[in-house]
Amino acid sequence: MPLYMDIHNVDTDEFSAEDVVKAHMEDLAIQDQFGVKQLKYWVNEQAKTIFCLMDGPNKKACNEVHLQSHGGTACNIIEVSDNEYQLFMGQGTDINDLAQTDSGELDSGFRTILLANIICLYRNNGSFVEQIQKLINEHKGVIVREPDNQIMASFVYATDAIMCASLIKNLLDSDHDTLEFNLAVISGKPVDEESETFFEETKSKINSLCSLGLNKRMFLDKDTIALADKELSDQKEKQNNFTLINSEDIQFSIDLSEVISDNFVRPEFNSENLIALLGLSKSSASRKIKSLTGMAPNQLIQETRFQKAINYMVQSNKTIAEIAYESGFNSPTYFTRAFKKRFRVSPTDFAKQQS
């Protein structure tokens, strides 16, 4: 049967894991009537959230178990694949279905996600990829996916993710002549109140940040800092290596990423168009973009076009001219000249190294 996970936000001053254990027992007592099996649940006492994993015939049946047993229906429920569940949530153990970390604490269900976006300009990337994989494993992370230019990993503990990201940046900085990159560390929930997919909101945040140019920056959000503080680990020195961002910064990065993604392919799209679509004054937009990315608006648009071109060169057999036009450049000659100036290698030579 399909696998489902839901989220419950508890709106009461009196809330404890013991209350959830009791409600879970009530679910178990009637679940067979609906063809549902409760598998595991996660409790975050501070955030007052509960996540339940179950298999069943459909979402309605899963919700009906909660409704009939104790009335605490889910705020949202989504279908998840077993593979994705194992990658993000497979760590730890449980006692009578109540999720715990390997150290025996309550597992909140929240995860910290690290995304590294890396371009190797002059040689095969196998060596540093293996070193990054080793660092992730040493810090108890699980590699979620590895497309051509990215590595995403999930961590139970925010402190492990912060330390791992810092060491990855040190590794990449040591080879600064051949690598272009950015990294982000963002924390979030497996199921959001309005999501349709696993860790949807968290993935949206982290992907938008890493789409904004290869600026050799590391982004760290306030939620991850709060989780690290609760873990009682001194990470202040490591946090100084990051660009710290709040919820307003993240929303701006999402808006910025969406506008550029929707328009970069048009050669006439420029900073004036970008600023108008963001709905901000020129000074405000320029200041926010510079603060977040270290780049001026036109530079960011150009950088995005370069990133798209690189993806095409890695993933397709298109000609350099085709790639130039599909990346928003109106002249292959200009694209070649600008690309070589930015990356110190011609598009043709870069593409040859990817084959």
**Tens digits of per-residue pLDDT, 34-80?**
999 999 999 999 899 999 999 999 999 999 999 998 888 889 999 99
Instruction: Place 316 in a pLDDT band, splitting at 50, 70 and 90.
Output: confident
pLDDT digits 0-9 by tens, 120-173: 887 665 678 889 999 999 999 999 987 668 899 999 999 999 999 999 999 998
**What count of other Cβ atoms lies within 10 Å of the Cβ of residue 64?**
18
- Are 51 and 4 in contact by the 8 Å Cβ rule? The answer is no
Please tell me the class of the 3-100 domain: alpha beta
- Enumerate the CATH 3.30.70.3090 domain ranges in the chain, comma separated: 3-100
> What's the CATH architecture for 256-354?
Orthogonal Bundle (1.10)
CA atoms of 195 and 328, how far apart (whole Å): 32
Q: What residues contact residue 342 under an 8 Å CB cut-off, 6+ apart?
A: 302, 306
Tokens of 337: 């000249």
> 111-243 in CATH: which number?
3.30.70.1230
Per-residue pLDDT, 120? 85
Residue 177 has pLDDT above 80, yes or no: no
Per-residue pLDDT, 231? 83
Determine which helix (DSSP H) or strand (DSSP E) holds 158, and give its type and residue range: helix 158-173
- Enumerate the CATH 3.30.70.1230 domain ranges in the chain, comma separated: 111-243
- Are 248 and 173 in contact by the 8 Å Cβ rule? The answer is no
Amino acid at 11: D
List the one residue out of 221, 235, 135 whose CA is nearest residue 186.
221
CA atoms of 228 and 220, how far apart (whole Å): 11
Per-residue pLDDT, 354? 77
Instruction: Place 108 in a pLDDT band, splitting at 50, 70 and 90.
Output: very high
Strands 142-145 and 49-55: unpaired
Strands 93-95 and 150-155: unpaired
pLDDT digits 0-9 by tens, 319-329: 999 999 999 99
Instruction: Place 175 in a pLDDT band, splitting at 50, 70 and 90.
Output: confident
Strands 150-155 and 111-120: antiparallel
pLDDT digits 0-9 by tens, 237-261: 567 789 999 999 999 999 999 999 9
